[in-house]
Structure formats: C-alpha cells, structure tokens
C-alpha cells in the first residue's frame, strides 16, 4: 500500500488514489476542491431554492468577472459548448428551442478551422448542428474561411488548447465573422490560469466563451462557465433547463445542481482572491527539485517551461535525445502508472525533431511532497 491517504469512501469500493502529474484531466478527476468550496456546497444542500433565480444570480456574478453582458454556470465546458451551438441556432425563439436537435428551417452550420478539430467538438454537434471545416490540418487563409460562410452558417467556432494551431488567429476570425454578422464561439476550457483570460477573450470580441470549472479554477468537476452576449446567453439558458413554461430542450440532461452552482461561484471567488504569482512560484520550485534530482543523465535534457498556451503551469519537460538508449518514454510512462502509487505523467506534445520523445510533468495538481516521490521513481527508471 502506498503512503497516499486512502479515503474510506474509495477504499470501500477498492479504488486507489493516484498521483496526478498529467494536469486537470477528466480521467483522473479534474481538480481538488478547496475546503471552503465543499463547505459552501454543504450549506447549499440544506435548503430548497428557486433554481431560475439562482441560475440568474450566479450568471450575473459570472458576467461581472468575465466583463461580459451575461453569464451562465454550466455542467462543464462541454455542456457550455452544446448550449453555445444551440443558442446560435435558436436565438430566443421558443418554437426552435423545442424543436432541437431537429434543425429543419434553422441556420445549423458551425464553421471551424480543420487544424482545431478535437475530441470535444462533438459537443457542438450534440445540439443538432453540423460542423463544416475550412483550411487543412496545417493552416488556413482568410479566403478559406470566407468561402465557407453561407446562409446556413450559425456560428464560427474557435478552440484554444495546448499545441493546437491558431489557423488565421482569433482576431481575424472575429473580424471576418462580425463583418458577416455571425457570432464567434470559443472553447477555452483549460486556458485558466492565467486569470486574465476570464475577460481577455470577451474583450477581444468573442460572442461567447466557455471554460471548465473543474480544471484550473478548482470548482466541482462537472461545472463550467459560459460568458458572452446577453441575447445569446438568454437563449443558451432557454436551451439549458426545461424550467421555462414546459419547453422541452436539448440541455436538460446537463442540468447543474444548486450545490454545483454554489461550488463554482465559491471556487471562482477564492481563485480570484488567491495569488497567481505564488501559485506559479510553487510549481516552479517543485519543477526545480525534480530537475535537480534528475541531472546529469546522458542524452536527457530537462527544461523548465512556462509557455501558457502549450504547457499548463510551470513544469519540467524531459526531452529524450535520438541517441537515448534507455527505456522509451512510453515505457517509462507505463511503468510509472504500474507502480504503487500509480503516477500519471504528461504525454508531451511538442514533437521536436532532434528528440525521440518527451515527458512533461505537470505540477498544477501535484501536492506537497509528491514531487519527491515522482523524482525518486523516475530516477530508478531513467538511470
Ligand atoms: C477539458 C476540455 C473540454 C471539456 O471540459 P469539461 O469541463 O470537462 O466539460 C473541452 N474542450 C477542451 C479544449 C478541454 O480541454
């Protein structure tokens, strides 16, 4: 048995805790909520409330933080994506809301740069919309985008995630979309921190943006943030619950509980009150510890990187030279997972030609002292 605390609730089910150096990934449980968040959720669970009123008030809180006209707490970023696409098709028309996912008679095409297709964009189609790609996996021109726009276009989607290409870039995308009176919807699920991104994309002009609540912010794993234009958020809300005069809607399976709304709001408050520099500093210290422990291994370069768009938080990246003779990065990752406790590391992503592979060690979810265990285990496998 490992030294990790094994809470009774998991022990009962035989499910063991793991060390998460892979980031806020869903498959390892997102993030850990602060004690105050759990206390607030506990308080929230003690009484009944009017859910429309609660949703609206929480939405105003989100809007204030995101500097947007309106906001909504959603059941994860992926739900926010479903609601963004639904909103762009239905507007505030009850008849259309009720009709989805049947999109007959509606604008139902969402345009996206081919290089930004990803395993989450299914959520844009869950509402009934159809995705249309422009450009190639490598790049695109403004003309590629313009030629895809038609009277069926309901939105242009843009995605920011590690190692994904910008295509023509967000600014140009917004410019072209708005010239054609089409909204831009942005999936920026894991782009917080930095905290400034909460309002940055809105200030750039996106019509709606979606973030995960259960990643960097530390809210409930199944919570998310949707912020943007008032008319669009109103229609997202209409599509999100069947609280409104018995209108059936596609968002019903993604309802947010009162506890999760309060959890997200509380997590966001605490998150904004905490110091970003200190947070990065603690990740940097842990990174340096690991780098020092693993120094002087031939054919292995270790760099501490802080490139917010590609790396989540300051972290050490192990680069294996083409001449590397030891265990492959894949094998090392596998043996780290098979150890006790299981340790999950990042899968790299930069694919530099002078290296055969890489392993990144994401510090955002590594708890005090776990960096020592990670370094010890790696040392055994690498030397
Ligand atoms: C995590 C993620 C999502 C899904 O977010 P949830 O909050 O888990 O629903 C969507 N898009 C991207 C780019 C992500 O990283």
pLDDT tens, 322-336? 999 999 999 999 999
Cβ of residue 219 lying under 6 Å from some atom of ligand 1: no
Q: Whose CA is closest to atom 14 on ligand 1?
A: 189
Cis bond before residue 20 (omega within 30° of 0): no
Burial of residue 331 (number of CB atoms within 10 Å: 0-12, 13-18, 19+)? exposed
Residues 166 and 203 occupy one common structural domain:
yes
Q: Which atom of ligand 1 is nearest to the CA of 213?
A: 7
- CATH code, domain with 114: 3.40.640.10
Rg, Å, the chain Cα set: 22
The Å distance, Cα 3 to ligand 1 centre, comes to: 31
Atom 1 of ligand 1: nearest residue by CA position? 189
Three-class secondary structure of residue 9 per DSSP: helix
1 located within any domain: no
User: Which tokens go with 85?
Assistant: 């696409």
Q: What is the pLDDT of residues 104-151, one digit of tens each?
A: 999 999 999 999 999 999 999 999 999 999 999 999 999 999 999 999
Give the range of the structural domain holding residue 241, as residue numbers without chain letter. 35-273
19 and 41: one domain? Answer: no
pLDDT for 1 equals: 41
Judge if 119 and 103 occupy the same domain.
Answer: yes
- The answer on 322 and 181 residing in a single domain is no
Say whether pLDDT at 244 is over 70. Answer: no
Q: Which residue owns the Cα nearest ligand 1 atom 2?
A: 189
User: At 335, which CATH number?
Assistant: 3.90.1150.180
Q: Which atom of ligand 1 is nearest to the CA of 25?
A: 1
Rounded mean pLDDT, 25-47: 97
Residue 50: its pLDDT value, please? Answer: 94
Please name which of 361, 323, 369, 329 lies closest in space to residue 344, comparing C-alpha atoms: 361
pLDDT at 3: 66
Q: Which of 190, 197, 225, 260 to mutate to test the pocket of ligand 1 (most atoms within 8 A of CB)?
A: 190
Same domain, 220 and 280: no
Domain assignment of residue 376, yes or no = yes
Question: Could you say which of 224, 246, 273 is where a domain stops?
Answer: 273
Strands 70-74 and 184-187: unpaired
Nearest CA to ligand 1 atom 8: 76
Beta strands in the chain (DSSP E): 19-21, 70-74, 109-113, 130-134, 153-159, 184-187, 208-212, 224-228, 300-305, 315-321, 343-345, 355-360
Separation of CA 85 from chain center: 17
- Please indicate, yes or no, whether residues 248 and 295 belong to a single structural domain of this protein: no
Q: Are the C-beta atoms of 16 and 342 separated by less than 8 Å?
A: yes
Instruction: Please identify, among 228, 248, 273, the residue that sits at the C-terminal boundary of a domain.
Output: 273
Asked if residue 212 has its Cβ within 6 Å of ligand 1, the reply is yes
Instruction: Give how many domains the chain has, as a whole number.
Output: 2
Q: Residue 3 falls within a domain, yes or no?
A: no
């Amino acid at each position: 048995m490992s030294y990790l605390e094994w809470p009774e609730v998991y022990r009962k089910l035989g499910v063991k805790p793991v060390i998460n150096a892979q980031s806020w990934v869903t498959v390892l449980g997102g993030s850990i909520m602060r004690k105050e968040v759990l206390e607030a959720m506990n308080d929230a669970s003690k009484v009944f409330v009017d859910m429309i009123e609660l949703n609206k008030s929480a939405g105003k809180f989100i809007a204030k933080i995101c500097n947007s006209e309106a906001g909504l707490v959603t059941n994860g970023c992926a739900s926010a994506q479903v609601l963004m696409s639904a909103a762009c098709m239905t507007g505030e028309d009850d008849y259309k809301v009720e009709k989805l996912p049947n999109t007959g008679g509606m604008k139902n095409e969402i345009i996206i740069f081919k290089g930004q297709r990803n395993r989450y964009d299914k959520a844009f189609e869950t509402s009934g919309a159809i995705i249309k790609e422009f450009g190639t996996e490598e790049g695109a021109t403004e003309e590629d985008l313009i030629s895809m726009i038609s009277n069926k276009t309901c939105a242009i989607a843009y995605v920011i995630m590690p190692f994904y290409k910008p295509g023509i870039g967000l600014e140009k995308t917004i410019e072209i979309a708005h010239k054609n009176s089409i909204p831009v919807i942005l999936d920026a699920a894991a782009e917080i921190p930095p905290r400034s991104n909460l309002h940055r994309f809105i200030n750039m002009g996106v019509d709606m943006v979606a973030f995960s609540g259960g990643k960097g912010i530390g809210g409930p794993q199944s919570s998310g943030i949707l912020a943007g234009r008032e008319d669009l958020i109103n229609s997202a809300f209409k599509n999100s619950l069947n609280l409104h005069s018995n209108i059936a809607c596609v968002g019903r399976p993604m309802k947010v509980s009162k506890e999760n709304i309060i959890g997200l709001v509380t997590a966001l408050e605490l998150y904004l009150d905490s110091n970003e520099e200190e947070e990065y500093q603690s990740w940097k210290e842990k990174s340096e510890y690991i780098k020092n422990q693993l120094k002087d291994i031939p054919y292995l370069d270790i760099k501490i990187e802080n490139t917010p768009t590609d790396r989540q938080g300051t972290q050490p990246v192990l680069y294996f030279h083409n001449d590397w003779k030891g265990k492959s990065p894949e094998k090392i990752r596998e043996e780290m997972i098979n150890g006790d406790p299981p340790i999950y590391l990042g899968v790299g992503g930069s694919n530099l030609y002078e290296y055969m592979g890489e392993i990144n060690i994401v510090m955002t979810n590594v708890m005090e002292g776990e960096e020592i265990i990670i370094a010890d285990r790696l040392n055994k496998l690498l030397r």
